[in-house]
Structure 1
Amino acid sequence: MAFRFFRLRVALLGGGFRGSFGKALRTTLLYAILAAAAVLLAIAPTVLIDDAQQRSAVDLLIGGAVLLGVFLVPFFENRRMLEPRQFVQYPAGPGAIAGGLLLSSVITWPFFLLVVWLVALAATRPAWQEPAWAAPVAFILAALFAVASARVMSLLSRLIAGQRFAGALRTTGVVLIVALLPLAVFAGATVFAPGGFDAVDQVAEKLAWTPFGAPFAAVEAAGAGDLDAAGMYLAIVAAAIVVLLALWFALVAASSRRVERPLSPGVARSGLGWFERFSARPAQVIAARQLTYWARDPRYRVALFAIPLAPVFMMLAFWVAGAPLTTLALVPLPVMLLLLGWSQHNDIAMDSTAIWEHVASGTRGRADRAGRLAPVLMIGLPLAVIGSSITVTIVGDWRILPAVVGMNIGVLLVACAVSCVFSVLTPYPATRPGDSPFVQPQGAGTGSGLAQTIAMILALVLAVPPVWFAVNALVDVEFTENMWALAFGIGYGLVVLVLGVLIGGWLFDRSGPELIAVTQIFD
């Protein structure tokens, strides 16, 4: 079975060169450029850094980042990976399929590029060549770890997301990459700033005790004559490989016995916009409709354009008062996320012409509440992650990233929870569909102002806990405090959001006919 997999891999390698001469030339140039980039990545630290100790810390940091990327990227992008379920119809057991796929993974372009980088590292680091066995053993273990982790994460994502949510998973990966770009630029600039290598040494010291940095820490320790430490680092990598292999064979066995739910043949797959990307369930259909509204209805676009203005004016006021830039950088994003979530506090009035469908069809209130959150969360969560990275870059301390992310996501989720309740509890007249978004409807006055004020005050009060823990982590920058602020911000926000959806859904179920009566008055 393994021989058949190797033949298939060789055929797949040559597929990029088949066809026209132009296609073969483009494929050759692409992989030549990638191989040159791998060699350049190995040589760059020796050219840019003269101090041996600093260079070893940077090597460990780059090596750990590469192996971490190999570990994470297949979870979000696995379309080029062979899947064990593709071979279950052949007369071979799960163990043979798992072994064949794992062994044949060495005949792939990503593995070749990894080998080029590792060989370039070994060739350009004379200090790693003694003892002679250290670098080959460490790099072979690193390559095995890369292969095993890529296979496990790829199959794990297929089992979790499947074909139905593969697109959402890829979008999440793109958002995370965009979010990390400012932080990566900032980290690179920090390395060459005065005192920057102190932070690099601290990160490298912690990274060395993980499977991602242990192979490079092992060759460094062996070159320095500390064979006991080198053996300990190699044992960490070997143990991680054993765990990944056990997980791989278990996942392949589970995959061969599991059949993914097929897509409904009656569902249209093109021409329906957002409805193509959601299943035929109440909350998801409502989410697709809301996303369509946000894309086409000028009333929602005006609100989105107005949200960034408030933080700008706040920053100007604080700047005139003499607040430092590093403190001001923390203000705009939470305010924008708070306003984004709060902007949905009257969404039933905005959707007054369709609310009767939910009541007449018996749609549960929690499905209505959850579905209407889709546009805000699809905009707010990427904004929170990407904006937090930019905020940390401006502040100049990457260690506070977990606390900033936790604070921003917590504020967004809390504001959404408040909107889930108040849009049912206190709807007030809104601009009618088709009217100018700047037209003020009749009847808006004390009632609308009171609803807006109470919703904003409640959102601010509920946002205090995640902000408080984040501020404590920012004042006393410790790893544990920052991770606690991240976990608390996300966990607290999710709990409040679930409660908001349930309470808002309960209110919707109890007052459905009254909501129809109230919204029809507005029309």
Structure 2
Amino acid sequence: MVAHLLRLKLDLLRNGFRRSVAALVGMVLGMLYGGGIVIGILVLMATLRFQGDAELTRTVLTVGGAGLVAGWALLPVVLFGIDPTLDPTRFATFAVRERTLAVGLLLSALVGLPGIGTVLIVLGMVFASTRSPLAALVALVGGVLGLAACLIASRVVSGAAAAVLASRRGRDVAGVGGLLFFLAVGPLLGFINDGGVTRERLVGLADVLAWTPLGWAWAASGDVLLGHWGQAGLRLLLAAATALVLFLVWERLLVSVLRNPRGSTGEGGGARRGLGLFAALPGTPMGAIAARAGTYWIRDPRFNFPAIMTVLLPAGLLFPGLAGDGSDGLLAVMPLVAAYLIGWGQHNDVGYDSTAFWLHVASGVDGVADRVGRLFPSGVLALVCVPGYALLGALLGGSWAYFPAALGTGVAVVLNGFAVASVTSAVKQYAVPSPGESPFSSRPGSVGVTFAVQTVCGGAVMALSLPALVLFAVALFGHAWAAWLVLVLGPVLGAAALVVAVRVGADLFRRRQADLLQDLVSMR
């Protein structure tokens, strides 16, 4: 059964490349980008193998291995998404032994660029410890345990996160947790930046990580190189126990999902009354689209969780900005970060409609109404976050001279982001989670396409905002005239770009409705 699941995953990947040229292009881009990183890491591991500093080898392996486990646990959730072909709910109707299915789904995660790259990195880390037969054996065992921790932690974290976000109360808890996380990131970054990254600090960090579940498997081979046999054996036992506990937790989550598949809405609390935003907004095509978009943002985890993160991310600059003298500029950047995330985040809005986009096509909705109506919820968010962060930065930093520049540039960036989104969302969509799916899922082979489209859109936003950003930089150097000039010029240029982009996007939307619907259907 495990071999059958692996063959199934390979067939799905191969068929995806045959069906979509974009997926094939994304695969090539992913190989070029990710392959360069993997090669660089392998060169570093080979360098560590042939130099005589055992302590440095242990430090790099421990810190790097801990980062690898943390990356597998967090990055698929917050950035790239979990492959939906591994979603346990898809196997709820199959008579497959639950433990066999748990093992097969874990091993299937290795089929793909991230899995292959991780295996190569682990082999490189094993090679770095092959100065003695015993160290090589310990490194091999630790690498296997560390790789297992990566795979299982990824499944456990994604399953737990999806369960938390299945209810509105869970999403509220996630929002508070996200706030606490970013409040903790600030002091950590300030501590790391204070005095720079030195070998002594890395060694100290490795010593701490070596006694945590993140570093047990990776520090054991370094302990052997240093002659600490007892510590190496203890850490291998702890790593094995961690992998076993994680697997049991993953198996329990899998059994729960298979026996009680989660609903598509995940909402409780009885029936809803009233028309909500549909009654509050004008009864026009633009008002209806705005109400529909706002309702999605309130009820759909695919929208409200990223919205929470967008609101909280700029707060990560608070502590570094308050860390010392001359850091007022970081506080002034907060509204720019918020503006960029809000505006840029709309560039794939049509992709989230899935096949329900046929309603726009069948109703013959006007392109301008569609382009502007979709911006309603993000526009409301921008009205709160951009002035709010500009005012917060001025209050906390004590430098009101930066306030006009921060506000004007933030407005320019968000308007330019809306302008780019108004055009790009009518040109090219990439795969996103379908309605009812986990907000952390992604399509096989779609990472490269997603990265390419997001990079192009981000570059376009920065290019349109360049005049405002230049004036903002001049204002930070103490030129008050630039701050007041960008307060006026930034919103004017941003509004002009948005008006032109809405017209262009509306024309593209009118001509490409059928093509957009075909793309959305093919992504399912």
TM-score (norm 1): 0.48
Larger relative CO (CA 8 A, sep 6+): 1 or 2? 2
Larger radius of gyration: 1
Relative to the length of structure 2, the TM-score reads 0.48
